Structure 1
Amino acid sequence: MSQHYLIGIDIGTQSAKVVIFTTGGQIVCEQQQPLRPLATPAPQYAEHPDDDLWSALQIACRKAMACFHQLGGQNHQLLAAGLCVIRCCRVLMKSDGELAWPVINWMDKRLNQPYQHQPEYGDVSYVTTSSGYITHRLTGQLKDTCANYIGWWPMDNDRQQWSEDPALWQRCNLRPDQVLDVIPPGSIAGEVTAAAAQACGLPVGLPVVVTAHDKAVEALGAGSLTPGVALISLGTYIGAMTHGEKNHTDARHFWPFQASLPGSWLYECMDVRRGMWTVSWFRDQFGAAALAEATDRGVSIEQLMNQQAAQVPPGSEGLITLHDWAPPAEAEFRKGAILGFDGRHTRAHMFRSLLEGIALTMKNHMDKMADELGVPFHQLIISGGGANSDLFMQIFADIFGLPAQRNKMKSSAAIGCAINAGMAMKIWPDYASACAQLVQPGECFHPDARHHQLYQQLNEAVYQRLHSQLDPLFSQLSPLVDS
């Protein structure tokens, strides 16, 4: 092992992943540590218990470094670590950098409003993001990427710095002394401290490079850099995005965010807030009866459910899933729904309907974004664990009527981290060269014209009308059960 290596650190909603790459793009070690289930102390509250993000990262790092050393790797060969942490969380830090309160997850309804100090929070010196917190844990520096401040933050996105508008600070209920210094993606925030090295197994002095918010890092790591190419990221939060060059502050059907690609913007449409979480929920709650069958066949329960759902016709014979298990901020009364049951339907129908509901929801959101941008999509790139499913990939191709490609490595965020880290260390001349080196395209699925026509009919006649039909009922139900 005579070459040099980069580390990609990706902490999502469900796990912490650490991947060590060669500068040529080969994966040397890949380890992860599941996060604990979110705590829900009140309806529509969601917190990471104790210090779970940091605890999981320590375990994942130690496992990755043990693997690296077993393969003959030496600490001096590691050039830098790129860091990407789940976005849209709120972290309350004490003056010594410890948590004053458990990390408030992006699904928590408190994040729909500006920060409000509560007596139970205790001594809060800093209000920051999850990436700011983990950056401080690793480096001891009070620094964060400027590209992970989404929501109630006084950020000037065009300047990539804190706003100079006092009124915006007041609306966000924050003061300049309560936030961390911000730096652009691809910048070195600091070096791994002795305390962090002891906790994580990383070498002391290893440069830590900031990236952006997790979806922007995925878009970079997926190689979706050109107009007309969209990334659909299959995570707990399912988003769709495409790169551009302008901050469309007046956009109606998408958000312009700072990209992990310096000087660019990431356009992201509406989402499915508990997308792959819903698939996992279905497996855990209703898959027990399939477990014995999966064991007998020598496959995982996910493989079995995908195999069985692939035998169900497109459209799930009329079974339709509406994905509102976590409602949007503008309609907190909404609930998830599965409609159209009759005697034909089995567990396989329900599973396929969950996948179709995700793809239909994303198509409707993405069509509005493409129309507003005036740039139709001609290719999809699918990332995340769900891209391992041939069935899900084909459903996306059939519903969109577009080729759907997955890359060889489905966890694009770790690649994006390595790209930002490598650029900070001047490994490649530009980001296009970095993507060409690290991003490795995989299989491409092409649409079936008959299936696409059926999905179009179902979408226009039924799916696009579900909210208008169900919202009045759910607005009556929510006050009865969510108080």
Structure 2
Amino acid sequence: MSIVSGPLAWAATDRTDEGRTGAMIAQSGEFVLAVDLGTSGCKCALVAPDGTVNSWAFRPVALHIVDQLGAEQDPEDWWNALVGAAREALSALPAQARVIAVCCSSQGECTVAVDKSGKPLHRAMLWLDMRGAQQIRRRAGSGLLSIAGYEPLRLMRWIHRTGGAPALSGKDPAAHMAFIQETRPEIYEKTYKFLNALDYLNLRLTGRFVATVDSILTSWVTDNRDIANVHYDPKLIRQSGIDADKFPEIVRCTDLLGPLTPEAAQQLGLPQSTPVVAGAVDNSAAALGAGTIVDGETHIYIGTSSWIGAHVPFKKTDLSAQIASVPCALDGRYLATALQSSAGSNLSYLSNKLLFPDDEFGTPQPADFYAVVERIVASSPPGACGLLYTPWIFGERSPVDDSSLRAGLLNLSLHHSRADLIRAVLEGIALNTRWMLSPFIRFLGHPIKQVTLVGGGATSDAWCQIFADVLGVPVRQLVSSIQVNTIGAAFIGHVGLGKMKYNDLTTITRIRRTYTPDPATRNLYDERFEEFQLAYKRLAPFYKRINSKESRPS
């Protein structure tokens, strides 16, 4: 039986094709074993070339919060979750069918140092981890002259060549590696390669130390000006302060890495000859799984974190709003992305810490918590009776990069109900997305006519309508929203094997429903958005002051 939990798993089974579940039987006899390693856990699925999911399974992975600012996971837990979910998905492989490849997608901006044998030297630092903020700030800026905390020449070099720059909040591999180098020198000396989460999975599958063009991005050491020739830049490596030989070989997302290792084949129960395609990080995979491959077509992912993404033909950076177009899985295109630190993690916190805490009181948490949320939120009107929620539960990335921000409930009164609280959380995340959307539209250079909402949160009818009303544009809900990263990884696998082309996605993407904005509710949310922005202006200095003691690790 599948283990389904966490913010990415909105419901125990995905609603697909109006009644069919995750046990759909595909017509094709050839499947890619697609892997999606998210923060909450690992999903695996057998996916046909037309995107049909034959079977899928999920295993959770524990998250460890360390020193107030650190967020870690054990790479061995990643692998065990992959093996467990894969074996369950493979148990439903139809007779006469076969797995033609394995291809992974994963959470990005993670860092794990491994030795020459591939053994992890520490728990992985996740995209939430801010312990390297001090180290990266020192490397980003020095002297009297700075631009937004960066030394101008270094900033110009980063933006001109990579399309972005290290996050001063510390939430990317550039900061993680600097933190390890300065505070864990014994680990740094033993490090053979620094790997992202995707790179580590590929190492376990094939024995190769490689990074994809998108997984290496936030190490900020690659020249991305020619999208067909992403390569390491010696000046950027020197600027990083990290030894050049500690970075892995770069490959394209559709490259074949080779067959499974004997150990991986044995644990997965697949032939050793099964090829492994390099894959992509989650935002690249989601853009493909959403079917948004035409320039400017926009998707919004709602999982543990959230982002807005669209493929574009140009390399560009908006430093003020933390938006950039960067290398991705789609040939000849960049992916414009704006990242929101916390989305579904707010709901996970609400469930695990407040409503149904797993503590000494033994409060039972319902297995269908998110289905319960769907029912409860319907009893609260739009606007949550004046309750406003700011979803910055672990800092924010875009449109402001501020690690001191925190979540909060504003205007709470005795008359507010549990339904108001839950609706306020859903609305707060949507309002924060609207905050990101304005600079994103300017970045694209044209209005957005509609968005495709994907991820676990997109399986909620109520949340899809909230997004439509808050953003003021139609919102498309996919048939398999919760499996979008897995499906995207499968598409990369099929393209890598030559079984399909990316242009095929425009005809095989299946839409379950389109939600249109309600004019009356839209007016209400316009006012709500002004209050949300005012809350940021008033609270940002307060959070900066009260959390200044968190600017350095304990």
TM-score (norm 1): 0.92
**Larger deviation, residues 134-143 vs 351-360:** 134-143
Tell me the residue number matched to 2:547: 478
**Contact (CA 8 Å) 1:325, 1:336: kept in 2 or not?**
yes
**Contact (CA 8 Å) 2:296, 2:312: kept in 1 or not?**
no
2:102 counterpart of 1:81 = yes
Tell me the residue number matched to 2:405: 334
2:194 counterpart of 1:127 = yes
Residues 88-167 of structure 1 aligned to structure 2 (within 5 Å): 88-110=109-131, 112=170, 113=175, 115-116=177-178, 117=181, 118-121=184-187, 123-159=190-226, 163=231, 165-167=233-235
> What displacement does 1:158 show?
2.6
Tell me the residue number matched to 1:409: 480
> What displacement does 1:148 show?
1.3
> What displacement does 1:237 show?
1.1
**Contact (CA 8 Å) 1:114, 1:152: kept in 2 or not?**
no
**Larger deviation, residues 148-157 vs 314-323:** 148-157
Q: Percent identity?
A: 24
C-alpha distance in structure 1 between counterparts of 2:290 and 2:113, whole Å: 32
Tell me the residue number matched to 2:54: 28
C-alpha distance in structure 1 between counterparts of 2:457 and 2:317, whole Å: 32
C-alpha distance in structure 1 between counterparts of 2:363 and 2:210, whole Å: 50
Tell me the residue number matched to 2:378: 310
**Contact (CA 8 Å) 1:154, 1:162: kept in 2 or not?**
no
Tell me the residue number matched to 1:451: 521
> Tell me, what secondary structure is at the counterpart of 1:47?
strand
C-alpha distance in structure 1 between counterparts of 2:388 and 2:493, whole Å: 43
C-alpha distance in structure 1 between counterparts of 2:231 and 2:422, whole Å: 46
Residues 365-418 of structure 1: CA distance to partner in whole angstroms, max 9, x if unpaired?
111110232211111111111111111011001111111111111121111111
Tell me the residue number matched to 1:440: 510
Residues 52-88 of structure 1: CA distance to partner in whole angstroms, max 9, x if unpaired?
11121111112122222xx3255xx222122112100
Unaligned runs of 5+ in 2: 1-26, 133-169
**Contact (CA 8 Å) 1:287, 1:301: kept in 2 or not?**
no
**Contact (CA 8 Å) 1:231, 1:382: kept in 2 or not?**
yes
C-alpha distance in structure 2 between counterparts of 1:132 and 1:57, whole Å: 14
**Aligned residue type for 1:46:** A
Residues 1-20 of structure 1 aligned to structure 2 (within 5 Å): 3-20=29-46
Instruction: Classify 1:2/1:422 alpha carbon distance in 2 versus 1 (closer, same or farther; 3 Å).
Output: closer
Instruction: Classify 1:293/1:34 alpha carbon distance in 2 versus 1 (closer, same or farther; 3 Å).
Output: closer
C-alpha distance in structure 2 between counterparts of 1:204 and 1:107, whole Å: 36
Instruction: Classify 1:450/1:138 alpha carbon distance in 2 versus 1 (closer, same or farther; 3 Å).
Output: same
> Tell me, what secondary structure is at the counterpart of 2:89?
helix
**Contact (CA 8 Å) 1:91, 1:129: kept in 2 or not?**
yes
C-alpha distance in structure 2 between counterparts of 1:26 and 1:98, whole Å: 36
Instruction: Classify 1:39/1:270 alpha carbon distance in 2 versus 1 (closer, same or farther; 3 Å).
Output: closer
Instruction: Classify 1:309/1:404 alpha carbon distance in 2 versus 1 (closer, same or farther; 3 Å).
Output: same
**Contact (CA 8 Å) 1:232, 1:240: kept in 2 or not?**
yes
**Aligned residue type for 1:458:** R
C-alpha distance in structure 2 between counterparts of 1:186 and 1:427, whole Å: 12
C-alpha distance in structure 1 between counterparts of 2:232 and 2:207, whole Å: 26
> Tell me, what secondary structure is at the counterpart of 1:317?
helix
**Contact (CA 8 Å) 1:84, 1:213: kept in 2 or not?**
yes
**Aligned residue type for 1:378:** K
**Larger deviation, residues 418-427 vs 148-157:** 148-157
**Aligned residue type for 2:513:** E
Instruction: Classify 1:288/1:370 alpha carbon distance in 2 versus 1 (closer, same or farther; 3 Å).
Output: same
**Aligned residue type for 2:488:** G
**Aligned residue type for 2:50:** G
> What displacement does 1:292 show?
9.6
**Contact (CA 8 Å) 1:228, 1:376: kept in 2 or not?**
no
Instruction: Classify 1:162/1:194 alpha carbon distance in 2 versus 1 (closer, same or farther; 3 Å).
Output: same
Tell me the residue number matched to 1:393: 464
Unaligned runs of 5+ in 1: none
**Aligned residue type for 1:172:** S
C-alpha distance in structure 1 between counterparts of 2:356 and 2:123, whole Å: 32
C-alpha distance in structure 1 between counterparts of 2:534 and 2:475, whole Å: 26
> What displacement does 1:2 show?
7.3
Moved over 4 A (4+): 160-164, 291-295, 480-483
Partner residue of 2:274 out of 206, 224, 227: 206
C-alpha distance in structure 1 between counterparts of 2:364 and 2:231, whole Å: 58
**Aligned residue type for 1:15:** G
Tell me the residue number matched to 2:144: none
2:443 counterpart of 1:420 = no
> Tell me, what secondary structure is at the counterpart of 1:242?
strand
> What displacement does 1:232 show?
0.8
**Contact (CA 8 Å) 1:322, 1:338: kept in 2 or not?**
yes
> Tell me, what secondary structure is at the counterpart of 2:237?
helix
Partner residue of 1:61 out of 86, 90, 100: 86
**Contact (CA 8 Å) 2:387, 2:421: kept in 1 or not?**
yes
> What displacement does 1:425 show?
1.3
Tell me the residue number matched to 2:433: 362
> What displacement does 1:162 show?
6.1
C-alpha distance in structure 1 between counterparts of 2:442 and 2:52, whole Å: 38
C-alpha distance in structure 1 between counterparts of 2:380 and 2:203, whole Å: 50
2:95 counterpart of 1:72 = yes
C-alpha distance in structure 1 between counterparts of 2:226 and 2:455, whole Å: 31
**Aligned residue type for 1:56:** A
C-alpha distance in structure 1 between counterparts of 2:286 and 2:381, whole Å: 32
Residues 285-305 of structure 1: CA distance to partner in whole angstroms, max 9, x if unpaired?
23239x99997xxx9332222
